Structure 1
Amino acid sequence: MTVGGQQRRPVVVLYERIADAIHAGTYPPGSTLPSEPKLAAELGVSRPALREALLLLQEDGLLSVRRGVGRTVNDSPPRRGYEHIQPLEELLSARVRPLLRTVEEPTDFTTQHLLAPAGSSLRFWESVLAGDDAAGALSQEWAAPGDVLEKAHPAFAEALEREPAGASMLAVLVGASRGMELTARSGVGATLLGQRRGEQLGRAAGTPAVLVTQVVRCGEVPVLAAKHMLPTGAPALMVLQSN
């Protein structure tokens, strides 16, 4: 399994497998996980990697340790993702420096998250978010096909045509959505910067980075999908979670 063309750390993959199983109800709230040896055998992983992933799940509030019982799933495990839709530049107190504003065909990522059919054209923005000292994040954002936006969110489609230089695509969407209901779902993973992304952020190619994926919907229609890469040393990003 890869993210951004780089192999993810086994612990990260294992964390996400167990977290997904918890949210899917495989391990329901209040249930006790199998013992470490049994769970490691079921998942086909080493016990040291499993132990590290379980500790991370405890830190994130999905699991608790009960003496004499073992690791149990919390009654109200926090949902993954952001509680409020807010442009990343606001969260990081950063400026948006556009790198690319273009139209491209669907990728595997946008086909999955925007349901974009083959042959359609998607508006694509790539930007660096920079603070006073250095680049803090690289954002890649895609809007749904034009015909979809015209039906689901014409104000967003119109605002994108103006291509404001100092704003992210999400900021444009939020600004064009006064009085409209937006919902979003984000995921958090890990990756390594490649050569190109390292150059864009002024970092070495092998620098570890947090990878945030995001899909925003207007009603039931996905209108924006994004990837945000925050390398080691980037400003802290608060992830708000609710029960």
Structure 2
Amino acid sequence: MAVSGQQRRPVVVLYERIADALRDGTYPPGSTLPSEPRLATELGVSRPALREALLLLQEDGLLSVRRGVGRTVNDSPPQRGYERLRPLEELLSNGAQQGAVRVRPLLRTVEEPTDFTTQQLLAPAGAELRFWESVLAGAGVAAALSQEWAAPDDVLERAHPAFADALRSPGAPGGSMLAVLVGASVGVPLTGHGGVTATLLGQRRGEQLDRAPDTPAVLVTQVVRVGDTPVLAAKQMLPTGAPALPVLQSN
């Protein structure tokens, strides 16, 4: 999964540098990383930024801390990116500690293109796009805010008529739009591209997720295509404390 090059925090960039070094064998599995002062010097970064990046790498399973030894590289670090296209509620349910994460619809409407959908769905001015906004919650606690857009109906009729029909089905709004797309795509090859950005919830999203506006969050953007045609675009906001989101991808 590609990571957005815009608005990335220095810690995120540093995380990627170290993760790449772990994966290319600069620091082999089972080896011990240099001390923080030495590693900070080698990478040309501050120790506070390095420490935060190392903690994130530990949380993601790339590093372990051994008392009296230091930080060691795990033998089988998880791979990066999405293993396959899966609805967000399914991914979050796998990482939840207390039952399944379910979709609670907030809005199901049709709207004109925004800057995001114009860029990602190549939607012309004046087009009508289906827009779904949902809160994903588990055990009564909001875990994520999902915003999803489908390409214009005429585009879907040409590129993926089964998806167009599924969106018009009365039962479609029960899950996420991506779940509808996956369910309608048996035998239809899909490709996806995503980006990850560190951010804050802000006032409106904080109210929707019952969190403070300054709550740290991860913004995941997705675009799904049939061939060269984008059929779905999404923004997924996951605040601190959300269930773990696995991002695995086969080579």
**Which residue pairs with 1:224 in the alignment?**
232
Alpha-carbon RMSD: 3.8
Aligned-pair distance for 1:101? 0.9
Give TM-score, length-normalised by structure 1.
0.73
Partners of 2:201 and 2:167 lie apart in 1 by 28
After superposition, where does 1:185-200 map in structure 2 within 5 Å?
185-200=193-208
Aligned-pair distance for 1:107? 1.7
Q: Contact between 1:80 and 1:187, CA under 8 Å: does it hold in 2?
A: no
Answering whether residue 247 of structure 2 is matched by residue 239 of structure 1, we say yes
Aligned CA distance change for structure 1 residues 159 and 83 (closer, same or farther; 3 Å): same
Answering whether residue 194 of structure 2 is matched by residue 182 of structure 1, we say no
Partners of 1:53 and 1:111 lie apart in 2 by 34
Listed one character per residue, the Cα deviations across residues 122-146 of structure 1 (whole Å, up to 9, x for unaligned) are 1110000111231111100011111
Amino acid at match of 1:102: T
Structure 2 residue matching 1:198: 3-state secondary structure: helix
Partners of 1:116 and 1:46 lie apart in 2 by 43
Structure 1 residue matching 2:174: 3-state secondary structure: coil
Amino acid at match of 2:11: V
In structure 2, stretches of 5+ residues that fail to align are: 27-38, 63-76, 94-99
After superposition, where does 1:98-117 map in structure 2 within 5 Å?
98-117=105-124
Give TM-score, length-normalised by structure 2.
0.71
Aligned CA distance change for structure 1 residues 238 and 113 (closer, same or farther; 3 Å): same
Listed one character per residue, the Cα deviations across residues 56-86 of structure 1 (whole Å, up to 9, x for unaligned) are 6799799xxxxxxxxxxxxxx9875201111
Partners of 2:220 and 2:227 lie apart in 1 by 22
Q: Contact between 1:136 and 1:234, CA under 8 Å: does it hold in 2?
A: yes
Structure 1 residue matching 2:147: 3-state secondary structure: strand
**Which residue pairs with 2:11 in the alignment?**
11
Equivalent of 1:156, from 156, 163, 183?
163
After superposition, where does 1:112-131 map in structure 2 within 5 Å?
112-131=119-138
% identical aligned pairs: 76
Report how many aligned residue pairs link the two structures: 224
Structure 2 residue matching 1:90: 3-state secondary structure: helix
Aligned CA distance change for structure 1 residues 159 and 52 (closer, same or farther; 3 Å): same
Poorly superposed stretches of 4+, deviation over 3 Å: 7-10, 13-16, 35-40, 45-62, 77-80
Answering whether residue 94 of structure 2 is matched by residue 85 of structure 1, we say no
Aligned-pair distance for 1:240? 1.1
